[in-house]
Chain A
Amino acid sequence: MEALAMLLHIITGAGLLSIFGIRRHFVAFVSLAFLLGTGLASFVPLLLELAHIRIDRFSVLVSLLILAMGSVVAGIRNRSFLAEIATIANLKISLHEIPFFLITAWLWYISLWKCYFYPNIPFDTLVGPELIAKATFFEGTLRNSIYTDFLTHSYPLSNQPYYAPFIMLMQVVYLCLGSLYGKVWLSGMVLAFFLYFYFELRHYIHPLLAGWLLTLLWLMPELYAYTYLVQTDYPNAIFLFVAFACLYRYYLAYAPTQAEFWVSSLFFGLACWTRTETVLFLPVVLLFLPKQRFIAKAVLYGIIPVVLFVAWNYIFLGIIVPKAIPLGKINLDFSHYFSRGWAIMVGTHKIMFDTVYWGYSFILFFILLLVNICLYRTKTELIKLSWVMGMHIIFMLIVLHIEGANIPFTFRRGFFKIIFLTLFYAGTSQLLINCSKWIENMLGSRHFNH
């Protein structure tokens, strides 16, 4: 049943992407379709709840089928586009790329096995999303006794049950479909992300360089653990990566297409649907919007993320179900502001340069950044760098001003978003683009830019 659900996610996503006319390598297209379809599937329990339909195996399966059928109709209407995506030329993979797929298959298999075999372990998930998901599964409603009776009396209580809902809703979907622990969707997302990551970077740089970055991404111990431990941070970073990648394509396009803009906005919305504080990173994303009609574009881009943020945090929580604790309490203590800010900066840098967490990826990014800055100081490189630095600065402000936010947990796991962006920066840097051209000239054939 899990395999059927994943197939339905791909169909749902592919249909929607065909409406937008998003062109990618076939594997990247399917991966993107899966990620989008998964994001959309998470709305199923909520829509059933709003329609006062019991959330169970039948209603969830029928809803997923309806979503997929709608996409099939869209796919039929855009069949010429889908036929272009599914051509042999768009499927081409060279022999020298095979090792990357073997590494991906090997490390993904281990991750999948662990994800499938063990129950949920992270404390935050147990006392938050999984608690709500199990109660929803047993009671058939999101307005379940955990929200209405248990949390209103329980102590000690932190904000985990009120996390942004994506992983909770996905667990509901998969528990309803008969999955034992309801979490194999994470493995699907991880594989789709790694493939998308590779083919997205391969669009800009030589497959060798893209593949080595992919290998570095696999070998980060901290990140690897979260490919099988269900937490909000990894799916959030995945959605955010796709949002940035699509917006970058929109920025670079000679004649920008609205499709990349809207798909980016949609994925940013899904990132907000996965971790609440993501909405605070909107200003960073908007740096890549064109100056012409900037405000209108910024407002349009922000509609989906802000609507999803408000819908969950202020309509569902608080109106549809009670909120037992205030969320995101702002701390406006400005005493010793700069010394505290400095301490936070030092703390975050310790995390960032810790090879036990990230292997050598961040150090490599830093070296590459220095070389890139020395050689190429273009506006595009600067804006891309400001994505990374802007997110770091906003994280420091979050730790300074949001109660409960801290460096060891909030920043360490929030850093997933940044580390993906650092690899994206590296993979789209002028330095590696020029290295790719050099390899191409040496060996004569063009392997990238699909």
Chain B
Amino acid sequence: MENSGLSQQAPKARHFSTRFRNTLLLLLVNLAGIAVIFVLPQHTSFLKYKVQGFYAIKAHVGGNSDSLARYNLVYAKETAIIHLLDSILKDGDVFLLPPQYYLVEKAYRTSPATDPYTWTYPSKFKNLAMNKVNFVEITYPDSLLRKATHTFLADKKGLHLISFADYSSAQKEAIISKLKTYQPFGFFIPQTAVDYLKQKKKNPWKP
């Protein structure tokens, strides 16, 4: 009986060893296939920049558990602007969102080219500020624009928050009229703003 038992186990063991050998072979073929896929140039570059780059970024910022700190990794500039407006504007004050073209023409630095004030896109500004800042857009009717109490003026030094209370009503009208001559928005990425300024330098616009 024992002998017959052993003779039944032998093919089983052989079957197991064949299956194990096949599985091992498949594993090796699989690893070789994956290695081939990974060493293709585009994939190498993807793994190098996207994947390896991740570990460097994570080591640098990964310790930030504070939600504001994480948010500021992307929106530091916008947060600073909104915080400034939130701290200065009182109840009933209204911020006039300046046109992007005005800021780009007056204050944008092309080297290094950074975000071309995309926060001036009203829906983006609304998203980032939500209910913290009551604002009007330059395309609103005059009756609403007259309610504006603050805006940003721009020069080569940067943006300056002004209160219209410090200006006469004629000066306020003049500032708003000037801002109305600029296109509200148009640059989504730095390159388009840089190209626009280069072109404008070559062919200055005359009214």
B192 at the interface (CB under 8 A from A): no
Q: Which of A118, A119, A154, A445 contacts B137 (CB 8 A)?
A: A154
The contact size tier of chain A is 35 or more
With A118-B74, A224-B46 in contact, is A131–B54 under 8 Å at CB?
Answer: no
Interface residues in A114-134 by Cβ distance below 8 A to B read: 114, 117-119, 121, 123, 126-128, 130-131, 134
Inter-chain CA distance A126–B184, complex, in Å, is 18
Inter-chain CA distance A118–B123, complex, in Å, is 20
Q: Find chain A residues with CB under 8 A from B143 CB.
A: none
The contact size tier of chain B is 35 or more
CB distance from A39 to the nearest CB of B (A): 25
A212 touches B127 (CB 8 A): no
Q: Find chain A residues with CB under 8 A from B61 CB.
A: 117
Q: Which of B42, B73, B184 contacts A156 (CB 8 A)?
A: B184
B54 touches A154 (CB 8 A): no
B90 at the interface (CB under 8 A from A): no
With A126-B127, A216-B37, A445-B19 in contact, is A153–B46 under 8 Å at CB?
Answer: no
CB distance from A274 to the nearest CB of B (A): 20
Interface residues in B126-147 by Cβ distance below 8 A to A read: 126-128, 130-131, 137, 139-140
Inter-chain CA distance A117–B18, complex, in Å, is 48
**By DSSP majority rule, is chain B's interface helix, strand, loop, or mixed?**
helix
B42 touches A127 (CB 8 A): no
Residue in A100, A126, A151 with the greatest tally of chain B CB atoms within 10 Å: A126
Interface residues in A153-170 by Cβ distance below 8 A to B read: 153-157, 160-161
A360 touches B30 (CB 8 A): no
Interface residues in A55-74 by Cβ distance below 8 A to B read: none
Inter-chain CA distance A134–B23, complex, in Å, is 52
CB distance from B115 to the nearest CB of A (A): 11
B40 touches A359 (CB 8 A): yes
Chain A residue, CB-CB nearest to B31: A99
Q: Find chain A residues with CB under 8 A from B26 CB.
A: 94-96, 208, 443
Inter-chain CA distance A119–B75, complex, in Å, is 9
B74 touches A119 (CB 8 A): yes
Inter-chain CA distance A4–B13, complex, in Å, is 46
Interface residues in B115-171 by Cβ distance below 8 A to A read: 118, 121-124, 126-128, 130-131, 137, 139-140
Q: Find chain A residues with CB under 8 A from B46 CB.
A: 219, 221, 224, 359
B29 at the interface (CB under 8 A from A): yes
Chain A residue, CB-CB nearest to B118: A123
Q: Find chain A residues with CB under 8 A from B75 CB.
A: 119
Inter-chain CA distance A307–B37, complex, in Å, is 43
B3 at the interface (CB under 8 A from A): no
Q: Find chain B residues with CB under 8 A from A150 CB.
A: 122-123, 126
Q: Give me 8 other A-B pairs in contact (C-beta within 8 A), A127-B121, A208-B30, A219-B46 excluded.
A: A99-B30, A117-B62, A126-B123, A126-B124, A138-B130, A219-B43, A444-B18, A445-B22
User: A: which residues have CB within 8 A of B?
Assistant: 94-100, 103, 107, 110, 113-114, 117-119, 121, 123, 126-128, 130-131, 134-135, 138, 146, 150-151, 153-157, 160-161, 180, 208, 211-212, 215-216, 219, 221, 224, 355-356, 359-360, 443-445
In the A-B complex, list the 6 residue pairs whose CB atoms are closest, starting with the nearest.
A127-B123, A96-B26, A96-B27, A155-B139, A443-B22, A131-B127
Q: List 30 A-B contacts (CB under 8 A).
A: A94-B26, A96-B30, A97-B30, A103-B34, A107-B51, A110-B54, A114-B54, A117-B61, A126-B123, A126-B127, A126-B128, A127-B124, A130-B127, A131-B123, A138-B130, A150-B122, A151-B123, A154-B126, A208-B29, A211-B30, A219-B37, A219-B38, A221-B46, A355-B42, A359-B43, A359-B46, A360-B40, A444-B19, A445-B19, A445-B22
